[in-house]
Structure 1
Amino acid sequence: MTTTDRRAALRAGVKLAAAGAFAAGCSAPPAERAPASSPTPTATARGKPAAAHAPAPRRFAGLPDQIDHSPRGRPEVALTFHGQGDPDIARTLLAKAENAGARLTVLAVGTWLDTHPGLARRILRGGHELGNHTQRHLSINDMSQAEARKEITACADRLHRLTGSIGGWFRPSRARTATPLVQRLARGAGYPHVLSYDVDSLDFTSPGSTAVVRNVMSTIHPGAVVSLHFGYRDTVDALPALLAELDRGGLRAVTTTELLT
């Protein structure tokens, strides 16, 4: 079967209906189906396979410890995905982004990587970026120092085991921004910045694909960091239209590191 055939099969095979539970701007996804095998590594938008190795975190001089947008002013945006949920939906989203020449940033939950370890390399091979969204996706800002540290480092350990790096970014779970304590713990784990966002798609509320596109485009701007989720069918259906609208607006979807460099 060719890569094109595989992508078509993935698109045809997505049957999961989205559920709408959410908390503090970041939700748990619908129940998952049984794991599926990883597809053949895909090529990047430039036509060359991307290395399945996550770059290390880096410090961006002049930018705050907690980043929610880029001040660079270039016509680019970062589509950042909370990495959890049905692996078939994740693969379909990745394939659709690649077909449109877009690169994503995926903040993965550690338990999701434990269940679907092949997705870490699948994300990287598609030219996308991988980061840390805590181990269990609990309310990290409400945890004790010891508990919060364990949530960050446990996911970092999984990423390092799977990719040779702790991932490029840390994003707090079930919160838009991290408390000063969580920021300090993230720095101690090796993440110079916490990645927040300034455009919320609200896709985790399952509002329909049209509303997902409208929610993003109504507040989009050059340098925006957009919050989206794996695990929701509305997001799968919205992505092609969203990328087309961004293109019409002269905006290109790049990884967060590309956006800030």
Structure 2
Amino acid sequence: MAVDRQPLSRRRVLGLGVASAATLAGCSTPPRAAPPATTQPRPVEPTPTATSSSTPAALVGPAVELVRGDGTRPQVALTFHGAGDLGITRRVLDILAQHRAKVTVLAVGTWLAASPDAAKMIVDGGHELGNHTWSHPALSHLAPSAVRAEIERCRDRLVQLTGSPGGWFRQSQGQHATPDELAEAGRAGYSRVLSYDVDSLDWQDPGPATIRRATAAARAGSVVSMHLGHEGTVQALPGILADLADRGLVPVTANDLLR
């Protein structure tokens, strides 16, 4: 079970996930009882079928913020801000492949627009893609309508490139989502917002040794924030993966960790 910042029970969190899946898949309502034999039956209209390229329908209610797993399995989720030089992305993906590690990349929409090959590279590597807004603004400074526009524009680019909006949204420029951000993520079709409990500090470019020490705070169930596009991240990553392996921790996608 994942830990969230709202006072929700496990049943309620899981219930939100089920409701979200039904909305996104365009499920029909339960069939009604057959009319009496003396009543002329009404014609039945076909139920619309959702396609993988369709834009997700807005959900009812805000998304739920998930920060970490419950630690019952020896797993961690390495999550990457998706932006920056595509050459560095290739090197990161090569290192992950060598260590058989799976990760989640929360992509910035402008990066996907400028480097459309990035999405295919990530998905082909068996990794998970999510939404990290269109232009990575300070969402907490924006009006709710502008927050939703940032989420929806990136969502639509993900659908265009991969056929899926991705299972996660992550707020930009903030470790935790505000109530407005949770509400607008829900309206944009995301039931879950992925935060984190460990910051690798790689975005500050402090050097590989500092990044590796910061990431050592990860424990079973942790969600670690990292960034593509930083040379220090590439240099620190082999050591980070070796440290996790020495402690018996397996890097998996956020979806696997928080299922």
Does 2:219 correspond to 1:221? yes
Q: Secondary structure at the match of 1:134?
A: coil
Contact 1:79/1:227 (CA < 8 Å) preserved in 2?
yes
Distance 1:141 1:170 in 2: 15
Residue in 1 aligned with 2:107? 108
Maintained 8 Å contact 2:106/2:129: yes
User: Unpaired runs of 5+ in structure 1?
Assistant: 1-52, 58-63
Q: Counterpart in 1 of 2:86?
A: 87
Find the aligned partners of 2:238 and 2:209 in 1 and give their Cα distance. Answer: 11
The reply to whether residue 250 of structure 1 matches residue 230 of structure 2 is no
Query: Partners in 2 of 1:194 and 1:224 — Cα distance?
Result: 15
Distance 1:95 1:77 in 2: 19
Partner secondary structure for residue 69 of structure 1: strand
1:75–1:222: 8 Å Cα contact kept in structure 2? yes
After TM superposition, which residue ranges in structure 1, 4 or more long, deviate above 3 angstroms? none
Q: CA deviation at 1:253?
A: 0.3
Runs of 5+ unmatched residues, structure 2:
1-51, 57-62
2-structure distance, mates of 1:67, 1:82: 17
SS at 1:91 equivalent: helix
- Decide whether the 8 Å contact of 1:134 with 1:151 is kept in 2: yes
The equivalent of 2:200 in structure 1 is: 201
CA offsets 1:80-123 (integer angstroms, 9 cap, x no match)? 00001111001110111111000010000000000000110110
Over residues 115-167 of structure 1, what are the superposed CA-to-partner deviations in whole Å (9 max), with x where a residue is unaligned?
A: 00011011000000000000001111110011111000000000000000111
Aligned to 1:12: none
2:184 corresponds in structure 1 to 185
Size of the aligned set, in residue pairs, is 201
Whichever residue aligns with residue 170 of structure 2, its letter is R
Contact map agreement 1:72 1:260 (CA 8 A) in 2: no
SS in 1 for 2:97: helix
- Find the residue that maps to 1:182 and give its secondary structure: helix
Give the counterpart letter for 1:172 in structure 2. Answer: Q
Tell me whether 1:67 sits opposite 2:66 in the alignment: yes
Structure 2 equivalent of residue 45 of structure 1: none
Give the aligned CA root-mean-square deviation in angstroms.
Answer: 1.6
Tell me if structure 2 keeps the 8 A contact 1:82–1:228: yes
Is the counterpart of residue 158 in structure 1 residue 160 in structure 2?
A: no
Please report the TM-score for the alignment, with normalisation by the length of structure 1.
0.75
User: Equivalent pairs: percent with the same residue?
Assistant: 47
State the alpha-carbon separation in 2 of the partners of residues 120 and 167 from structure 1.
11
Query: Partners in 2 of 1:141 and 1:166 — Cα distance?
Result: 23
Question: What is the DSSP-based 3-state SS (H/G/I as helix, E as strand, rest coil) of the residue aligned with 1:68?
Answer: strand
Which residue of the partner structure matches residue 7 of structure 1?
Answer: none
| Inter-partner Cα distance in structure 2 for 1:73 and 1:188 | 32
Query: Cα deviations across residues 53-94 of structure 1 (Å, max 9, x unaligned)?
Result: 99x99xxxxxx8101100151000000000011110011101
Give distance in 2, aligned partners of 1:250 and 1:174. Answer: 31
- d(CA) in 2 for partners of 1:255 and 1:130? 9
Distance 2:242 2:92 in 1: 15
Instruction: Say which one has the larger Rg.
Output: 2
Deviations 1:218-245 (A, max 9, x none): x211000000001110000000010000
State the TM-score, normalized to the length of structure 2: 0.75
Distance 1:138 1:244 in 2: 34
C-alpha distance in structure 2 between counterparts of 1:220 and 1:191, whole Å: 26
Aligned to 1:146: 145
Give the match for residue 9 of structure 1.
none
**Equivalent position SS for 2:224:** strand
Name the structure 2 match of 1:25. none
Distance 1:78 1:193 in 2: 15
